[in-house]
């Protein structure tokens, strides 16, 4: 069965053009013109990747993103009209895994989607069972436990945690994490890393404001405290 992409975009012409381009990549595309439509479609037939335009009539892209995140860890790509910090960070905070700024080349979108899909699969590569204080990571099962209780992470958050945990104590620069997790080169947006780390901390840290596991190394990046 081919990969299914749910494309949420209110502009009919853009939606059709993107659908054509994505279908050329061999993917099946479901269209949705409104946020309500998108949620309905997603309930009936969960997609493998969701593409959401932030500017939607009715419930906006952020809200659609949050609603999907409540029940699913499906990779989500946000489409923003502007790359200003507010929209990008709000989109990532709402649970998006990556973002693109309009107008983007469909080839770029395909590359992003492939990176997200690859990531979801490679995270199942087996690694030893890892334990850091109250934190327990079981990469094979895709499970993280804090104080013995399951912590629910999105696939990207999980991947960030495993990447850091595979070399505990080593400092990872934003650029390295962008490359390994999102498939970006040096010029990826560091905010992707920052917001994902922030989201990760709210889930795995007892006190997210004073992280004990995922710590910032000023000027260098992040590391997992041993």
Closer CB to another protein, 10 or 163, in the complex: 10
Q: How far is the CB of 213 from another protein (least distance, A)?
A: 22
Q: How far is the CB of 65 from another protein (least distance, A)?
A: 20
Closer CB to another protein, 61 or 139, in the complex: 61
- Residue span binding another protein (CB under 8 A) among the ranges 10-18, 30-38, 116-124, 145-153: 10-18
Judged by CB under 8 A, which of 104, 117, 130, 134 binds another protein? 104
What's the Cα-to-Cα distance from 183 to each of 117, 162, 179, rounded to whole Å? Answer: 11, 16, 4
Judged by CB under 8 A, which of 105, 128, 152, 225 binds another protein? 105
Helix, strand, coil distribution of the chain in percent, nearest 5: 40, 20, 35
Judged by CB under 8 A, which of 3, 4, 14, 46 binds another protein? 14
Closer CB to another protein, 158 or 182, in the complex: 182
d(CA 209, CA 134): 17
Interface with another protein, residue 111, by CB under 8 A: no
Peptide bond into 8 cis (omega under 30): no
Q: Where are the beta strands (DSSP E) in the chain?
A: 4-8, 28-32, 49-53, 76-80, 98-101, 130-132, 135-138, 143-146, 149-151, 214-217, 221-224
The contacts of residue 112 (CB under 8 Å, 6+ apart) are: 77, 98, 100, 182, 183
Where in 153-192 is the site for another protein (CB under 8 A)?
A: 185-187, 189-190
Closer CB to another protein, 54 or 64, in the complex: 54
What's the Cα-to-Cα distance from 43 to each of 21, 31, 36, 79, rounded to whole Å? Answer: 25, 14, 11, 21
What's the Cα-to-Cα distance from 205 to each of 109, 154, 182, 200, rounded to whole Å? Answer: 33, 16, 23, 8
- Collapse the DSSP code of 204 into the 3-class scheme (helix H, G, I; strand E, B; otherwise coil) and give the result: helix
Tell me the β-bridge partners of 45: none
d(CA 140, CA 152): 15
Q: How far is the CB of 129 from another protein (least distance, A)?
A: 35
Judged by CB under 8 A, which of 17, 40, 111, 206 binds another protein? 17
Closer CB to another protein, 44 or 85, in the complex: 85
Judged by CB under 8 A, which of 2, 24, 128, 131 binds another protein? 24
Where in 50-89 is the site for another protein (CB under 8 A)?
A: 55, 81-82, 85
Residues interacting with another protein, by CB under 8 A? 11, 13-14, 16-18, 20-21, 24, 55, 81-82, 85, 102-107, 185-187, 189-190, 218-219
């Amino acid at each position: 069965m081919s990969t299914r992409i749910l494309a949420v975009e209110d502009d009919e012409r853009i939606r059709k053009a993107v659908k054509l381009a994505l279908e050329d990549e061999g993917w099946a595309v479901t269209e949705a013109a409104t946020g309500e439509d998108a949620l309905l479609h997603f309930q009936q037939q969960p997609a493998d990747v969701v593409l959401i335009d932030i500017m939607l009539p009715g419930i906006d892209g952020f809200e659609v993103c949050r609603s999907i995140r409540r029940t699913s860890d499906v990779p989500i790509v946000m489409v923003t009209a502007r790359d200003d910090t507010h929209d990008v960070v709000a989109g990532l905070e709402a649970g998006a895994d990556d973002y693109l700024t309009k107008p983007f080349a469909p080839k770029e979108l395909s590359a992003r989607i492939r990176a997200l899909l690859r990531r979801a699969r490679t995270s199942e590569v087996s690694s030893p069972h890892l334990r850091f204080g109250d934190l327990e990571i079981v990469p094979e099962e895709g499970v993280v436990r804090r104080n013995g209780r399951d912590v629910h992470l999105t696939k990207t958050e999980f991947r960030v945690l495993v990447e850091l945990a595979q070399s505990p104590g080593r400092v990872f620069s934003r650029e390295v994490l962008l490359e390994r997790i999102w498939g970006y080169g040096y010029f990826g947006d560091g905010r992707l890393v920052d917001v994902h780390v922030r989201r990760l901390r709210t889930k795995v840290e007892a006190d997210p404001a004073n992280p004990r596991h995922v710590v910032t190394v000023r000027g260098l990046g992040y590391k997992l405290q041993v």
